């Protein structure tokens, strides 16, 4: 069985369409169809993405290790496409010396801990957050998808604390200090009307600098 034939066997076994497989791997449906029509195999540069989509190891796909073997099912790797923020972060990490890596890892761990304590709503899977204002080391972000109730995300750069403001109620969530909260409240009160108008009209604009 060729690699191409094995891929189609696995697609049928997993009840996965070629379109879904294409979305998972980033390989065009035309290329996938050609593997069957022309009885060809995918290039080596596509193997890792294929294995991740089908949840098999490269060893199984390339050498024919039987699927009932544990070696064929224990998948413990990640495929990161080029041109993504995640790929850039890993490439930057790999270019650092060991001490800078340790500092970055410690920063990441503390960020996660603070976020867990603050009650911040994770927006990791969203690419629709737009920065609309920055003042006093505070950043304000609005969701350009306008999902859920009207709100903005707040990031305080100095303490690396994240939170949010409910635009209708003015409720501020997050582990902000007693010195930062009054600043956020004052900014919100001054811009409440324009923030709600943006949300209701689905039209995001940058708010001028505020002090």
User: Do 93 and 65 fall within a single domain?
Assistant: no
- Identify whether residues 100 and 137 lie together within a single domain: no
Bridge partners of 134, per DSSP, are 139
Asked whether residue 209 is assigned to any structural domain, the reply reads no
Residues 139 and 172 in one domain: yes
How far is it, in rounded angstroms, from Cα 101 to Cα 189?
Answer: 41
* Same domain assignment for residues 56 and 92: no
Is 151 part of a structural domain of the chain?
A: yes
Which is higher by pLDDT, 77 or 55?
55
Q: What number is the average pLDDT over the span 31-57?
A: 87
What are the phi and psi torsion angles at 121 (to 5°)? -85, 120
- Total domains in the chain come to 3
Give residue 64's pLDDT band: very low, low, confident or very high (50, 70, 90). Answer: low
Task: Count helices and strands (H / E) in the chain.
Answer: 8, 5
Is 193 among the domain residues?
A: yes
* Confidence (pTM): 0.49
- Whole-number mean pLDDT of the chain? 83
Please state the rounded mean pLDDT for residues 117-143.
Answer: 76
**Separation between Cα atoms, residue 188 and residue 210, nearest integer Å:** 11
Residue 117: predicted pLDDT:
63
Residue with tokens 């490439």: 91
Q: Which residue in the block uniquely carries the two structure tokens 């065009």?
A: 28
C-alpha span between 47 and 156 (Å, rounded)? 42
Question: What are the backbone angles phi and psi of residue 210, rounded to the nearest 5°?
Answer: -135, 140
Residues of the domain holding 186: 129-201
Domain-embedded: residue 206: no
Q: Which residues contact 78 (CB under 8 A, 6 or more apart)?
A: 52
Q: What SS3 class is residue 80?
A: coil
Order across the sheet with 172-174: list the strands: 129-135, 138-143, 151-156, 161-166, 172-174
Question: Are 211 and 135 within 8 A, CB to CB?
Answer: yes
Please tell me whether residues 136 and 190 are part of one structural domain: yes
Structure-model confidence comparison of residues 107 and 168, the more confident one: 168
Residue 211 placed within a domain: no
Please report, for the domain that includes residue 24, its CATH number. Answer: 1.10.260.40
pLDDT higher than 80, residue 94: yes
Q: Which residues pair with 161 in a beta bridge?
A: 156
Residue 62 in any domain: the answer is yes
Query: Is 77 part of any domain?
Result: no
| Across 160-183, average pLDDT | 91
Task: Provide the sign of the torsion angle of the four alpha carbons 190, 196, 199, 202, taken in this order.
Answer: negative
Q: Token pair for residue 36?
A: 């069957």
Say if 8 falls within a structural domain.
Answer: yes
The C-alpha atoms of residue 123 and residue 129 are separated, in whole angstroms, by 8
Same domain, residue pair 140 and 192: yes
pLDDT score of 65? 55
One domain for residues 140 and 197: yes
């Amino acid at each position: 069985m060729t690699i191409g034939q094995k891929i189609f066997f696995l697609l049928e076994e997993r009840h996965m369409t070629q379109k879904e497989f294409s979305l998972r791997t980033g390989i065009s449906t035309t290329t996938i169809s050609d593997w069957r029509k022309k009885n060809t195999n995918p290039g080596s540069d596509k193997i890792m993405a294929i294995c991740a989509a089908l949840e098999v190891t490269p060893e199984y796909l390339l050498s024919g290790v039987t699927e009932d073997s544990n070696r064929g099912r224990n998948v413990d790797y990640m495929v990161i496409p080029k041109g993504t923020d995640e790929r850039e972060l890993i490439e930057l990490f790999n270019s650092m010396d060991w001490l800078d890596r340790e500092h970055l890892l410690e920063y990441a761990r503390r960020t996660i801990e603070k976020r867990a304590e603050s009650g911040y709503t994770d927006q990791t899977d969203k690419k629709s957050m737009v920065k609309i204002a920055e003042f006093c080391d505070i950043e304000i972000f609005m969701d350009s998808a306008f999902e859920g109730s009207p709100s903005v995300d707040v990031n305080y750069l100095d303490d690396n604390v994240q939170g949010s403001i409910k635009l209708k109620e003015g409720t501020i969530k997050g582990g902000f200090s007693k010195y930062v909260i009054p600043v956020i409240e004052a900014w919100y009160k001054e811009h409440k009307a324009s923030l709600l108008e943006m949300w209701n009209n689905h039209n995001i604009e940058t708010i001028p600098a505020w002090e």
